[in-house]
Protein backbone atom coordinates (compact mmCIF):
# COMPACT_ATOMS: atom_id res chain seq x y z
CA UNK A 1 0.00 0.00 0.00
CA UNK A 2 1.50 3.32 -1.06
CA UNK A 3 0.85 5.97 1.52
CA UNK A 4 1.45 9.33 -0.16
CA UNK A 5 0.38 11.02 3.02
CA UNK A 6 3.35 9.52 4.88
CA UNK A 7 5.66 11.61 2.74
CA UNK A 8 3.35 14.63 2.75
CA UNK A 9 3.05 14.64 6.55
CA UNK A 10 6.80 14.22 6.94
CA UNK A 11 7.57 17.06 4.55
CA UNK A 12 4.84 19.33 5.99
CA UNK A 13 6.57 18.95 9.36
CA UNK A 14 10.05 19.58 7.90
CA UNK A 15 11.28 16.15 8.93
CA UNK A 16 13.77 13.87 7.25
CA UNK A 17 13.17 10.17 6.77
CA UNK A 18 15.91 9.65 9.34
CA UNK A 19 14.02 11.73 11.93
CA UNK A 20 10.77 9.82 11.40
CA UNK A 21 12.64 6.52 11.52
CA UNK A 22 14.08 7.52 14.90
CA UNK A 23 10.58 8.30 16.20
CA UNK A 24 9.46 4.84 15.07
CA UNK A 25 12.67 3.19 16.37
CA UNK A 26 13.42 1.68 12.96
CA UNK A 27 16.10 2.28 10.33
CA UNK A 28 15.82 4.95 7.64
CA UNK A 29 15.92 2.35 4.83
CA UNK A 30 13.06 0.47 6.49
CA UNK A 31 11.00 3.67 6.76
CA UNK A 32 11.77 4.46 3.12
CA UNK A 33 10.24 1.12 2.10
CA UNK A 34 7.01 2.10 3.86
CA UNK A 35 6.93 5.56 2.33
CA UNK A 36 7.50 4.23 -1.20
CA UNK A 37 5.00 1.41 -0.81
CA UNK A 38 7.51 -1.38 -1.20
CA UNK A 39 6.43 -2.68 2.20
CA UNK A 40 3.19 -2.34 4.13
CA UNK A 41 3.54 -0.31 7.30
CA UNK A 42 2.45 -2.18 10.43
CA UNK A 43 -0.56 -0.87 12.33
CA UNK A 44 1.49 -0.28 15.49
CA UNK A 45 3.73 2.13 13.56
CA UNK A 46 0.69 3.84 12.04
CA UNK A 47 -0.61 4.42 15.56
CA UNK A 48 2.66 6.04 16.60
CA UNK A 49 2.63 8.30 13.53
CA UNK A 50 -1.02 9.26 13.98
CA UNK A 51 -0.33 10.29 17.56
CA UNK A 52 2.87 12.13 16.59
CA UNK A 53 1.20 14.05 13.74
CA UNK A 54 -1.97 14.53 15.82
CA UNK A 55 -4.19 12.99 13.17
CA UNK A 56 -5.96 9.68 12.58
CA UNK A 57 -4.80 6.49 10.95
CA UNK A 58 -7.76 6.92 8.59
CA UNK A 59 -6.25 10.21 7.39
CA UNK A 60 -2.79 8.70 6.92
CA UNK A 61 -4.11 5.80 4.84
CA UNK A 62 -6.40 8.03 2.79
CA UNK A 63 -9.76 6.82 4.09
CA UNK A 64 -10.70 10.40 4.98
CA UNK A 65 -9.56 13.88 4.05
CA UNK A 66 -10.31 15.20 7.53
CA UNK A 67 -6.98 15.88 9.23
CA UNK A 68 -8.43 16.41 12.70
CA UNK A 69 -7.65 13.64 15.13
CA UNK A 70 -10.45 11.69 16.78
CA UNK A 71 -11.13 12.61 20.40
CA UNK A 72 -9.33 10.40 22.89
CA UNK A 73 -11.52 7.88 24.68
CA UNK A 74 -11.48 7.87 28.46
Q: Is residue 71 part of a domain?
A: no
pLDDT per position as a tens digit, 18-62: 999 999 999 999 999 999 999 999 999 999 999 999 999 999 998
Residue 17 covered by a domain: yes
Q: What is the CATH number of the domain that holds 19?
A: 1.10.260.40
Cα separation, 25 vs 71, whole angstroms: 26
44 in a structural domain: yes
d(CA 34, CA 3): 8
pTM for this entry: 0.86
Q: Which domain holds residue 39?
A: 4-61
Burial label for 52, CB within 10 Å (0-12, 13-18, 19+), is: middle
Amino acid sequence: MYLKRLKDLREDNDLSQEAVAEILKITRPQYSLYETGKRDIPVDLLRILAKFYNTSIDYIVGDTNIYKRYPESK
